[in-house]
């Protein structure tokens, strides 16, 4: 007797139209065609472009909003936005939260990937790339007073350096951790008075090294920049051994929201001196300080 064909094949599933709308816009964002702050369009404009009905567009937009990829302004227009903790973009990022990955693990990974990206960017940057970096720096300087906006610009700075590095594997590998790591810059800038200024200074040195084509210097200053984040994170009252979930949920393991140490003794005299003089003393010390 011949075998039945009924069990040979899996069912073919066809994506719904709203999923195709969401995927098309998401690809524009992931590919860098649309960047945070760019206008996606109104519902009416998207209906016309995709050739679907309004309810289909609305459902696709809802998916993107839930992913944290777009936001709706008062004029009903849609804009690309940087994903925040409550809108985790990738399955890998969610897995990191579920696996109780710590900030120490994110930091150690960032040291490797961000410094590698800066080194490669110094070797491959073209005039257009340098212009993009300078534009990002100008934007950062303009919003330095606003920790939330500055954190978004900082996140875009690191994504830009990774893009300029010209290695898509590196660019994709850093994304899941970066979505958890870089938004904490907002916390550091709020809690540490000099945090914003130090961030901007680091960006200036990194850009200068990339412009000069100095890969070693770009790597050095990116490392100092990431290490400085660690110092700021700890000064803000957090432990590197906290699980990232503690801040995703808006709390620390102790139930506190992240207090600032109240005395110089609690911070440590040596720690304060190193923070004020160590990381950004230009061209002093070795790359592994």
Token pair in block for residue 265? 């003794």
The pLDDT score that the predictor gives to residue 57 is 92
Task: Select from 60, 80, 100 the last residue of a domain.
Answer: 80
The pLDDT value given to residue 4: 54
Which whole number is the average pLDDT over 43-68? 89
Contact 191, 260 (CB under 8 A): yes
Q: Which residue, of 28, 45, 80, is where some domain finishes? A: 80
Could you tell me which of 259, 257, 249, 254 has the C-alpha nearest to residue 100? Answer: 249
DSSP string, 115-153: HHHHHHHHHH--HHHHHHHHHHHHHHHHTTT-HHHHHHH
Helices (H), 183-268: 184-191, 195-212, 215-235, 245-248, 264-267
Q: Residue 55: which residues within 8 A CB-CB, separation 6 or more?
A: none
Token pair in block for residue 146: 């606003």
Q: How confident is the model at residue 282 (pLDDT cuts 50, 70, 90)?
A: very low
- Do residues 69 and 173 both lie within one domain? no
Query: Tens of pLDDT along 168-227?
Result: 899 888 988 888 887 789 999 999 989 999 999 999 999 999 999 999 999 999 999 999
Residue 277 pLDDT exceeds 80: no
**Judgement on whether residues 66 and 129 belong to the same structural domain of the protein:** no
71-104: per-residue pLDDT in tens?
Answer: 887 667 888 886 554 454 556 777 888 788 999 9
- In percent, the amount of the chain with pLDDT more than 90 equals 48
Tokens representing 77?
């227009």
- Statement to judge: residues 76 and 95 lie in one domain: no
In a domain, 10, yes or no: no
Answer yes or no: is pLDDT of 259 > 70. no
Res 68: pLDDT: 76
Asked if the model's pLDDT at residue 288 lies above 50, the reply is no
Q: Record the pTM.
A: 0.61
Torsion, Cα 11 12 13 15, to 10 degrees, reads 170
Least confident stretch, 148-162, 239-253, 273-287: 273-287
Residue with tokens 């990022």: 93
Residue 36 scores a pLDDT above 90: no
Domain count across the chain: 2
Counting residues of the chain whose pLDDT is more than 70, the rounded percentage is 76
**Mean pLDDT along residues 222-244:** 94
The arithmetic mean of pLDDT across residues 141-155, rounded, is: 93
Query: Tell me, what's the pLDDT at 10?
Result: 64
Let me know whether 126 and 242 are in one domain.
Answer: yes
Residues 106 and 75 in one domain: no
CA dist., res. 238 & res. 204, Å (int): 27
What's the confidence (pLDDT) of residue 93? 78
- For residue 164, is pLDDT > 90? yes
183 and 110 co-located in one domain: yes
Residue 207 and residue 128 share a domain: yes
Using DSSP, state whether 76 is helix, strand or coil: coil
State the Rg of the chain over Cα: 22
Within a domain: residue 256? yes
How far apart, in whole angstroms, are the C-alpha atoms of residue 48 and residue 50?
6
pLDDT surpasses 80 at 32: no
Confirm whether 111 is domain-assigned: yes
Q: What does the pLDDT read at residue 90?
A: 59
């Amino acid at each position: 007797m011949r075998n039945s064909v009924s069990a040979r094949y899996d069912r073919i599933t066809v994506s719904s139209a709203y999923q195709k709308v969401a995927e098309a816009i998401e690809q524009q964002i992931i590919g860098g065609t649309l960047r945070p702050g760019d206008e996606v369009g109104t519902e009416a404009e998207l209906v016309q472009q995709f050739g679907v009905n309004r309810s289909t567009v609305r459902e696709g937009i809802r998916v993107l909003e839930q992913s944290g990829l777009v936001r709706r302004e008062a004029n009903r227009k849609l804009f690309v936005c940087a994903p925040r903790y409550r809108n985790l973009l990738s399955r890998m990022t969610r897995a990191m939260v579920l696996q109780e990955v710590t900030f120490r693990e994110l930091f150690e990974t960032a040291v490797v990937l961000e410094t590698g990206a800066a080194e490669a960017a110094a070797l491959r940057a073209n005039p257009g790339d340098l212009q993009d970096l300078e534009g990002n720096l100008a934007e950062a300087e303009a919003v330095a007073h606003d920790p939330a906006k500055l954190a978004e610009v900082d996140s875009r700075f690191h994504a830009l350096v990774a893009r300029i590095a010209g290695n898509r594997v590196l660019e994709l590998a850093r994304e899941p951790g970066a979505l958890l790591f870089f938004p904490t810059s907002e916390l550091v800038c709020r809690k540490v008075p000099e945090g914003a200024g130090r961030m901007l200074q680091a960006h200036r040195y990194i850009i200068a090294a990339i412009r000069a084509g100095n890969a070693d210097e770009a790597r050095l200053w990116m490392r100092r920049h990431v290490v400085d984040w660690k110092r700021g994170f700890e000064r803000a009252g957090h432990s590197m051994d906290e699980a990232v979930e503690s801040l995703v949920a808006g709390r620390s393991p102790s139930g506190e929201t992240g207090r600032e140490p109240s005395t110089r003794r609690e911070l440590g005299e040596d720690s304060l001196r190193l923070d004020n003089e160590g990381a950004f003393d230009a061209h002093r010390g070795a790359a592994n300080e």
